[in-house]
């Protein structure tokens, strides 16, 4: 639903964007920068996002413009909530659907009770290794660039906090979940480790970020609707 809000992008806006699947976070930033220039004639404008979402993921992406870009570092540190689905019985090199399945595992022993009990093991402070296909830098190079060239990628474990890990549907092979976690948590790594703890394998099949701090996906706007609001601003100016 379109609003009559008038944005002041140079002075600074914090935009809640509902990122579509297959878009990178930088695709969203670049599109918003283009729309501001094209629809409103603002040639020089700073635009940045506060926390990357993987291309296959959907949901809440905070985008800051103008003077509000100074707030990005503070916004990235907030807790995050996700919902999604794990696919049990297989793994992929990227820990999600970006790459093809590289190994399959037995799932005959996996029950609803085992899934629920396994989820409890991950609540609290845990160590996890980021996926090789991630934006973590290795000697100045993003890990995913090395991984896509099939170079050896070695990443150190890091501590993250899982505040809530709720299994919302105990299906096999697809199990759905909701996670509330700290900054820096990789849900793809959680999927991989969850599969190992089941004495099987798992990868992230779908993911939606539903909350960042007190910002909710329910208050987010699509890229298309944001563009339409800019056109209305242009027409009414």
pLDDT of residue 152: 78
Per-residue pLDDT of the chain (237 residues; tens, 9 = 90+): 556 678 999 999 999 999 999 999 999 999 999 999 999 999 999 999 998 999 999 999 999 999 999 999 999 999 999 999 999 999 999 999 999 999 999 999 999 999 999 999 999 999 999 888 777 787 778 877 877 877 777 888 999 999 999 999 999 999 999 999 999 999 999 999 999 999 999 999 999 999 999 999 999 999 999 999 999 988 887
- The domain tally of the chain equals 2
pLDDT of residue 4: 63
pLDDT of residue 37: 95
pLDDT of residue 156: 86
Residue 3 lies in a domain: no
Residue 4 lies in a domain: no
pLDDT of residue 209: 98
Same domain, 70 and 84: no
Same domain, 220 and 205: no
Residue 5 lies in a domain: no
Same domain, 139 and 181: yes
Same domain, 87 and 71: no
Which pair of tokens denotes residue 169? 């549907």
Residues 6+ apart with CB under 8 A from 62: 14, 15, 16, 17, 49, 50, 51, 75, 212, 215
pLDDT of residue 160: 97
Same domain, 181 and 150: yes
Residues 6+ apart with CB under 8 A from 232: 2, 4
Same domain, 120 and 20: no
Residue 153 lies in a domain: yes
Choose the catalytic residue: 18, 54, 96, 193: 54
* CA gap 235, 237 in Å, rounded: 6
pLDDT of residue 235: 84
Residue 165 lies in a domain: yes
Same domain, 57 and 87: no
Same domain, 148 and 232: no
Same domain, 104 and 191: yes
Q: State how far the alpha carbon of 152 is from the alpha carbons of 11, 83, 145, 146, in Å.
A: 45, 31, 11, 7
Same domain, 33 and 71: yes
CATH of the domain at 108: 3.30.2350.10
Residue 8 lies in a domain: no
Residue 115 lies in a domain: yes
* CA gap 20, 16 in Å, rounded: 13
Residue 109 lies in a domain: yes
Q: Would you call 54 a catalytic residue per the annotation? A: yes
Same domain, 92 and 206: yes
- The dihedral built from the CA positions of residue 204, 209, 210 and 214, taken in this order, carries a sign that is positive
Alpha-carbon dihedral angle through residues 185, 27, 139, 146, given to the nearest 10 degrees: 90
Same domain, 201 and 230: no
Segments forming the whole domain that contains residue 111: 80-212
């Amino acid at each position: 639903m379109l609003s009559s809000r008038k944005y002041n992008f140079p002075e600074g806006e914090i935009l809640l964007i509902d990122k579509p699947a297959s878009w990178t976070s930088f695709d969203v930033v670049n599109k918003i920068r283009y729309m501001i220039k094209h629809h409103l004639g603002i040639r020089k404008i700073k635009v940045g996002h506060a926390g990357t979402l993987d291309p296959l993921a959907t949901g809440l992406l905070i985008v800051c413009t103008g003077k509000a870009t100074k707030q990005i570092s503070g916004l990235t540190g907030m807790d995050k909530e996700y919902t999604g689905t794990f696919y049990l019985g297989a793994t992929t090199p990227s820990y999600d659907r970006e790459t093809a399945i590289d190994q399959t595992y037995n799932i005959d022993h996996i029950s609803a009770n085992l899934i629920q009990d396994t989820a409890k093991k991950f609540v609290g402070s845990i160590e996890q290794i980021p996926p090789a296909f991630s934006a973590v830098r290795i000697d100045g190079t993003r890990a995913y660039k090395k991984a896509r060239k099939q170079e050896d990628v070695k990443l150190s474990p890091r501590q993250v906090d899982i505040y809530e890990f709720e299994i919302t549907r105990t299906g096999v092979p697809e199990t759905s979940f909701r996670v509330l976690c700290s900054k820096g948590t990789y849900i793809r790594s959680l999927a991989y480790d969850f599969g190992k703890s089941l004495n099987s394998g798992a990868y992230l099949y779908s993911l939606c970020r539903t909350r960042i701090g007190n910002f909710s996906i329910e208050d987010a706007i699509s890229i298309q609707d944001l563009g339409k609001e800019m056109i209305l601003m242009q027409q009414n100016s």
